[in-house]
Structures are given as structure tokens and as C-alpha cells.
Amino acid sequence: MNTKRALAITLLALSTAAGATGARGIADPQTTSGWFANRLVGVFETNEGKVGPCGTTPTQPVGNTLSFNAGGTVTESPEFPPTGAPGVFGLPGVFTRNIGLGSWSYNPRTNHYSMHLQYYFFEDGEFYGIGTVDRDLKLSLDGKTASGPVRSTIYAADGSLIVALCGTASSTRL
């Protein structure tokens, strides 16, 4: 009787472990720790990037400096004139923005990094809305270049969409 009970308990434990392992495989295992994830940690300069309204050919150059920190945070310093630029995205007045703050994670199944950040932007010095930047990054084997698609979405203060920009960018480790 004890042998049958032990066998039943063992089979139940194995099937539970197999079920838990199988369920884990459904979701992507995003992480910000470990050697592979931390290969991204450091400062990168984006100087080879172009975006345009999604569905069109990207023509507008973009640039920034990205600081990927251990633990999954990222800070972006845009290459944008501190005094602003007139007529950006068809908006009247002078467009300015602050730094971008966000997070990153690593997916060991795809060997890609994901980055999401957001920033505030202003029209003639008044708060006008929020911008987001999302990137899917593939790090080169030597760890010196991170490249891939980029999507930036600009929302007015009321949450309405102003523009969605798509393109690609390549960032080089400094």
C-alpha cells in the first residue's frame, strides 16, 4: 500500500511540475538580470535612425543618447534643440521636450531587448502632451551596436493621437 501511495504521489508531483513548466512556455520570459541581459548595460548614441509617419518611407533623421542601467531602467537624452523647433508634427508654435525615462527588458528566447520610454512635450512653453518611444533591439555579437525597429507615438494632453512614427535606428556603444 505504501509503494502504491508513494508512486501516486510521485506521478502527481511530476505531472504538476510538467504542467507548470508547460504553462511557463506560453509567455515570453522577460528579464533584466543575468549576464546576457546585462550585456546591454551602458551608454549608446543613436546616430543612424530615421522615422516617418507609420506606413510611409522613413525620412526624418533621429538621434539621442541612451543610458541603459542595470535593473531595467533607461534614460534618453534627445538630440533636440533646447530652444525648440517650430512646426514639428504640423503643430503651430515652438515644440520642445524633456528627457525620456523608461524601462528595458531582455527576452532570452528571441535574444532581443525591448525598450519603452516616455517624455513630456511642450508647445510654446505650455504642456501639450506625452510622447512614447518603443524599440525592439538586437545587440551585435561584440555588444557595440544595438539596432532594430522603432515606433514613437505622440499624444495630446487629452489623450488623442497626434502622430505615430515608425522607422529603424542603430545605436553605437560609447
Mean pLDDT of 35-44: 86
Distance set, CA 119 to CA 141, 155, 163 (Å)? 31, 11, 15
Are the beta carbons of 43 and 65 closer than 8 angstroms? yes
d(CA 81, CA 96): 8
Mean pLDDT of 159-165: 95
- Helix, strand, or coil (residue 3): helix
Grid cell 521636450 is found at 97
Cell of 118: 516616455
Residue 156 has pLDDT above 50, yes or no: yes
Q: What is the CATH number of domain 31-173?
A: 2.40.160
166, amino acid identity: C
**pLDDT, position 35:** 65
**pLDDT, position 3:** 54
Cell of 145: 551596436
Are the beta carbons of 63 and 174 closer than 8 angstroms? no
The H or E element containing residue 57 is none
Residue 18 has pLDDT above 60, yes or no: no
DSSP state of 34: S
d(CA 33, CA 106): 8
pTM of this structure = 0.78
Cβ neighbour number for residue 116 with a 10 Å cutoff: 15
d(CA 50, CA 47): 9
- Residue range 70-124, pLDDT digits in tens: 989 999 999 888 788 898 878 888 999 999 999 999 998 999 999 999 999 999 9
Distance set, CA 172 to CA 40, 73, 111, 152, 169 (Å)? 11, 18, 18, 20, 10
